[in-house]
Amino acid sequence: MTPETDKRGRPVLFVLSAASGTGKTTVAREVEARVPGLFYSVSATTRARRPWEKDGVDYHFVTREVFRAWLEHGNLLEWAEVYGEYYGTPRKPVMEALKDGRDVLLDLDVVGKRKLQALFPGQVVSIFLFPPSLEVLRERLITRGVESGKLEIRIQNALREIEGAQEYDYWIVNDQLEEAVEALASIVRAERQRSYRFPRIPLQRSAEVGA
């Protein structure tokens, strides 16, 4: 039997980006539940918690002081300012997952994606998720509950974020949830098997053959 260490290549960091309200969190969480060995990175943010969000599950909700202290202590792998609030990736959980040989799924904006590509050359796979249309995006933002007066700003920002889609490896349209989830799960499964991620040829010579 091939040893476990030879069956898997170097861990991959999957970065998922989309305009707010497209369904990133929904798709990412479903793929995490479906694909073994995939760790979902929970970001830290200074923005206010939305009523349906859970601290430590959707985000680590922190004050600006705490965020700055984490930054100063090097606790964040990358960070960005989005809509006037800070967002960042806690370093330790990601590094531990990679050390354990697990792949990591991160929900980041385009700035965060670029930073990770610089930090982990050749190890980042980027996926951009599109809403089927701007009308559907608007409906999803309303259903989810957008902050009052923020709907049009979010739509304008969505158009700007979508402009960055050209620099991503994969595109998925999140129309039917099941199809979008399976598309992302397939990308994860296929990327894991890329020959260049393997440390060596995964074929063990038995003692008899070698003799």
What is the total count of residues that contact ligand ADP (CB under 6 A)? 14
Q: Which stretch binds ligand ADP (CB under 6 A): 67-75, 97-105, 108-116, 172-180?
A: 172-180
Q: Which stretch binds ligand ADP (CB under 6 A): 20-28, 65-73, 119-127, 195-203?
A: 20-28
| Alpha-carbon distances of 82 from 28, 29, 124, 156, 157, rounded to whole Å | 20, 22, 22, 14, 10
Both structure tokens of 106 = 């991160």
Nearest to 19, CA basis, from 148, 168, 123, 149: 168
Which of ligand 5GP, ligand ADP, none binds 80 (CB below 5-8 Å, type-dependent)?
Answer: ligand 5GP
144 touching ligand 5GP, by CB under 6 A? no
Task: Please list the helix, strand and coil fractions of the chain in percent, rounded to the nearest 5, in that order.
Answer: 45, 20, 35
| Alpha-carbon distances of 132 from 19, 79, 137, 174, rounded to whole Å | 12, 29, 8, 6
Which of ligand 5GP, ligand ADP, none binds 22 (CB below 5-8 Å, type-dependent)?
Answer: ligand ADP
CA distance 30 to 9: 24
User: Cβ contacts of residue 96 below 8 Å, gap of 6+?
Assistant: none
Q: Which of 177, 189, 193, 199 binds ligand ADP (CB under 6 A)?
A: 177
Smaller CB separation from ligand ADP, 180 or 183: 180
Nearest to 19, CA basis, from 112, 130, 125, 122: 130
Which of ligand ADP, ligand 5GP, none binds 112 (CB below 5-8 Å, type-dependent)?
Answer: ligand 5GP
Nearest to 103, CA basis, from 183, 191, 2, 181: 191
22 touching ligand ADP, by CB under 6 A? yes
Per-residue interface string for the shown chain with ligand 5GP, residues 66-105, x marking contact by CB under 6 A: ------------x-x-x----xxx----------------
Nearest to 186, CA basis, from 11, 14, 54: 14
CA distance 126 to 184: 11
Q: Which of 109, 129, 146, 180 binds ligand 5GP (CB under 6 A)?
A: 109
Q: Which of 22, 43, 46, 126 binds ligand 5GP (CB under 6 A)?
A: 43
Q: Which residues bind ligand 5GP (CB under 6 A)?
A: 17, 20, 43, 47, 78, 80, 82, 87-89, 107-109, 111-112
Q: Which residues bind ligand ADP (CB under 6 A)?
A: 18, 20-26, 140, 143-144, 174, 177, 180
